[in-house]
Chains A and B, each alone.
Chain A
Amino acid sequence: MLLNRYSLGTMLAATALAQTPVMPKLTKGPAKPGFDVSRFVLTPVGTFQTFYVKETFPLKKALEEGRVAPDTRLLVIDTASGKLALIRDQMTYHHIAQGRARNKDWMATF
């Protein structure tokens, strides 16, 4: 395939776009008293992905099937349908999990 000036330009622009991190958009305040937005450092969108919980399984079954071990570290939270375990090592990446139980939305952070 021959590259002309236009297609090369398009490719370079696409490459530049692919490498330019997209930052979360912020409004111009207001700020809570004492909050200094100049100290806030943005993280590019997509660096960490929130875990949207769509399904859960009995922990006992997950252990029996070997998907977790007895010493696997967990974070345990309370939801409207009872206690829910999240795998700690996964949450060190996600930082945030959101889900819904018995028509009530919940969110956990780590």
Chain B
Amino acid sequence: MNRITDFFDRILGSRFWALFIKEVSQILHNRQLLIQLLVPPTVFLTLFGFALNPTFENLRVGITDYSHSRASREFIELFHQTQAFDIRKYYTNEQDMMADLGKGKLTVGITIPPEFDNDLARRRPTTVQALFDAVDANTANVASGYLSQLVSDYNLRRLDIDWRRQGIGTTANNNSTGFTTTNTLARQISPGVTNPALQQNQLPHEKPRVGRLQLQTSVFYNPGLESSWFIVPGTLGIVLTVVGSQAAASLVVREKEAGTIEQLIMTPASSTEVILAKISPLLVLLTFDAVIALIVGRIAFNLPFRGNFLVFLSISILYFFVGISMGILIASYAKSEQQALLTTFFVNPPLVLLSGGNFPILAMPTFMQWLSYLDPMRYFIEVCRGVLLKGVGLEILWPQVVILSIFATILMSLSICQFRRQLT
């Protein structure tokens, strides 16, 4: 009992505690800073979570159908079956469609040739033309991927039907019940059959038929493929870093500009104590921010929290430590508030871009991927996604923790050094 009160006495009586109280009351007096720290992160988190959706749906399709046949309508019907495509307009000639494509009204224009039906009926390969507006290379790429998947599904289905027909045909033949057999065979022995595989299979005794290959896909961690589950943890990292480093920089610089920093040196407190006391209230506020963000994520986006809350909290605090030290380091080099702020403003965008918060790191060129290893935010976002979505703990996230600790130590000692050098 005595030892506990002793412990509290020591903390409460320490210089650090006195400085901490000073910083807290200073921040509490600064209403604008409080608002700055608490409101924008929450607002932007919600906004981005709702708005940013990289999945491509309702890609605008225009169709020129010269064939006007049952087969072509069947083919077009495929586009209705997926969410990915949205047929905007049917054209009577290709020129009109191309003009609309040029104006950016369509993502893809599809031309079905007049001989489509005929070719299919004769088992001749036929060609459908797809024109993409490739100004947006990414969308065009995704659209062309979807489209080839659609066509390949269609082909497989057609081939399947053919196989089955032949299958029925041959069994029917074995059972020697005439009519259907002749019918199917008649349909197959057409002048257009050049396909060796098909021809081969018309011989009943030679059936190198292979079973179908089925893909069973299961999506881990995010079975509904909610894009907000990717965006929100990323934005959490981004927003809190931006806010934290800027607030820290401006707090330190302002004290420098106002000349009150000399008064702080006059106190018996060491520069480490001064800096730590400056950081702690911000740490508390940012942690508070993170918790609010998690609650918002939970309510607005149904974001899961699968991991251990304490693990998340302690790694977050470690990371905020990194972000704040970055701000303080910048501030200790800057001569004016404007310089400090401009520098943080310059440092933040690359950190944001390379972090993988909004854009997958895998999509970057190799060189950028290497650069991203130097970005502490990258590790924090990995931790966020790991704990929130994957529900993993320290046993998997320890490398991130080690790296973040290294960042924290280096940045902190650098800024304390620089601080000391400037003041003495």
Query: Real complex partners, A and B?
Result: no
